[in-house]
Amino acid sequence: MRADSGDGHPVLTVEDLTVVYEVETPVTAVKEASFTLAAGEILGLAGESGCGKTTLAYAINRLHKPPARIASGRISFHDRDGEDIDLLGLDEKRLRAFRWSQLSMVFQGAMNALNPVLNIRAQLEDVLIEHDPGLSRAERRARAADVLRRVGVDPLRLVSYPHELSGGMRQRVMIAMAMILQPQVMIMDEPTTALDVVVQRDILREIVRLRDELGFAVIFITHDLPLLLEISDRIAVMLRGEIIELGTADEVYRNPRHDYTRRLLGSFPSLSGSRGSFIRTGVEEEA
């Protein structure tokens, strides 16, 4: 399923990013995280629950609220027009315009976040009304139908309400909402966790296909390292708030440098293989 990344020029750079929760005893949830995301690349972010993956994603999008605080570091977005944007320096107005149009996010459990009293068309068009108010009603409807079609949902479903869709279809709608403004980067936080394995596979194929077709980069967050081995160009492994390993999918799989990565790989046995083996790209291999 994994495909080659884009042309290699950087689209997002994170340098020494530290996030602290200012509670009674301050907690450093992310510690000096650094990585560069290339245009068209799928970067997998793996680690156990509580290791800081979602905190890092929220920091990149500047979605934290107190007691969370970005204590240090830099986040730079490299626009397709050649402009370097300091995300931590944007004021609230510029930040609102930046989100979704350049950098969007599919949140964990997002398929349950759709407004139950609005149909799918209204929710997709709401993003366009906010970020591209110059579009006519006909243009908004055409864009909503097109983006829904791209994620594999019949545009006839635009008049449906969330409760009339399956979990997989609701998740596809959330992905459509995240890409409707054609951002350069999409952050996906556990986008398939609540779905059965067949639907998971279908949605993963759609994500890779859309990346190949539209050229956006993806930060894909999950605790499921074997899944990332299938779809990612590179993988970052987090432990206790730190990125302890970063390399290509093949490097992480065949020659993990950190003992935690090796243990993470070994924690996903196959159903039929010997202990210590797991399944990668549908083929059993020894870890």
pLDDT score for 240: 95
Q: Which amino acid is at 269?
A: P
Could you state, in order of their start, the residue ranges of all structural domains in the chain? 10-102+183-286, 113-182
Contacts of 197 (CB under 8 A, 6+ apart): none
- Phi, psi of 70, rounded to the nearest 5 degrees: -80, 110
Q: What confidence score (pLDDT) does residue 267 get?
A: 78
**pLDDT score at 195:** 80
Question: Would you state the pLDDT for residue 226?
Answer: 85
pTM > 0.75: yes
Q: State residue 80's pLDDT score.
A: 81
Overall fold of domain 10-102+183-286:
Rossmann fold (3.40.50)
248: left (phi over 0), alpha (psi -120 to 50) or beta: beta
pLDDT of residue 274: 57
Average confidence (pLDDT) per 10 residues, the chain, 287 residues: 60 98 96 97 95 96 94 95 92 92 88 89 96 95 96 96 92 94 95 82 90 95 89 96 97 94 80 50 36
